[in-house]
């Protein structure tokens, strides 16, 4: 690891160092005409659910999904409930990979106040953000918005391999889908990047001139891959050093190009991506708002902090003033 940080001798370190796809735990499916929803509350329900899942044709690869079709979201565990109120679909990227995506409508038939495009960290996939607590379903409920998210190439049911270039093509594909095909007004769109998702978000925005979103939220953002690894092996005062030519996900050299409001949120006890990364990105951001440095919070529990939820709500409601409705809602 020290050789990687000090000598940077191989670009092949990118995938294993930056991307940790978990085992796939979900699939898309189209329920048969006689399908009956089962809510698992006891052993008998679990047995019935297991039998039901044996009959379902499971789409475990995005390449098997039809473009333009809508699917239900199922979990691989034989006794687990389906994830309700979520629509799955597949998109083809500019690199010819098919990726799994989801859409969560605004709950209770409310018209959405705005739309979120969420880019997840490097060690999780869509299922983690739909069954965890809180989940993206909670995001839609709490902010009364609609939510889109996607799995990077090589994650979940998405095809291809995990890489920086593929990740940038992935977010571009779903952003174009939201703003062009679904006709969501970019002025009502907020991009939310968590950890490595911040790198995807910044790369997209810096190249977007005609359809700029309303704002961007960066949660626990890294300055770059090698700077994070440098912290892990004990290097000091390395964040502001010149960027190595073999570094990846270099947000520190790009964030000044973002010309829309930026909210940066970071846990003060983050040992994975230390808070210093968020602080230096905040210093270099041109259009930042007041950041949120969350005390007693690490990388993996920051989503559970009410301070974060309240700060995001204030950013959207008061600083971006997004209280209207989006256009081009998903078709049922």
Catalytic residues: 195, 270, 299
Q: Which two tokens stand for residue 72?
A: 């239900």
Q: Are 194 and 201 in contact (CB under 8 A)?
A: no
Smallest Cα–Cα separation from 309: which of 287, 292, 329? 292
Provide the 10 A C-beta neighbour count for residue 323: 12
Q: Cβ-count burial of 212 within 10 angstroms (0-12 exposed, 13-18 middle, 19+ buried)? A: middle
Greatest alpha-carbon pair distance for the chain in Å reads 63
* Closest-CA residue to 211 (of 86, 91, 328, 70): 328
Q: Regarding beta strands 98-104 and 146-150, do their DSSP bridges make them parallel or antiparallel, or are they unpaired?
A: antiparallel
How far apart CA 303 and CA 279 sit, in angstroms, is 19
Distance, CA of 221 to CA of 206 (rounded, Å): 16
Nearest CA to 31 among 50, 5, 59? 59
Name the residue with tokens 């030519």.
Answer: 245
State the CB neighbour count (10 A cutoff) for residue 44: 10
């Amino acid at each position: 690891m020290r050789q990687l940080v000090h000598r940077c001798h191989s670009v092949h370190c990118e995938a294993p160092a930056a991307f940790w796809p978990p085992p796939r735990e979900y699939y898309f499916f189209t329920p048969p005409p006689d399908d009956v929803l089962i809510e698992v509350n006891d052993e008998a329900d679990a047995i019935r659910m297991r039998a039901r899942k044996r009959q379902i044709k499971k789409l475990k690869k995005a390449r098997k999904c039809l473009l333009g079709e809508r699917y239900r979201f199922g979990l691989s565990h034989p006794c687990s409930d389906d994830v309700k109120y979520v629509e799955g679909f597949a998109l083809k990227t500019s690199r010819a990979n098919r990726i799994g995506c989801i859409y969560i409508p605004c709950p209770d038939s409310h018209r959405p106040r705005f739309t979120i495009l969420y880019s997840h960290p490097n060690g999780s996939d869509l299922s983690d953000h739909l069954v965890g607590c809180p989940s993206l379903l909670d995001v839609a409920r709490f902010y009364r918005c609609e939510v889109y998210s996607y799995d990077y190439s090589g994650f979940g049911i998405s095809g291809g391999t995990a890489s920086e270039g593929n990740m940038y093509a992935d977010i571009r594909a779903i952003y174009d889908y939201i703003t062009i095909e679904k006709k969501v007004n970019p002025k009502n769109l907020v991009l939310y990047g968590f950890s490595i998702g911040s790198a995807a978000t910044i790369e997209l925005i810096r190249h977007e001139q005609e359809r700029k979103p309303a704002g961007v939220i960066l949660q626990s953002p890294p300055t770059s891959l090698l700077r994070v690894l440098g912290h892990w092996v004990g290097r000091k005062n390395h964040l502001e050093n010149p960027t190595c030519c073999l570094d990846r996900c270099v947000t520190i050299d790009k964030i000044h190009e973002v010309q829309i409001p930026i909210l940066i949120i970071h846990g003060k006890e983050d040992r994975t991506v230390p808070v210093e990364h968020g602080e230096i990105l905040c210093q270099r951001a041109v259009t930042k708002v007041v950041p949120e440095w969350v005390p007693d919070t690490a990388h993996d529990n920051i989503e559970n902090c009410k301070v974060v939820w309240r700060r995001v709500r204030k950013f959207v409601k008061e600083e971006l003033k997004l209280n209207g409705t989006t256009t081009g809602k998903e078709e049922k």
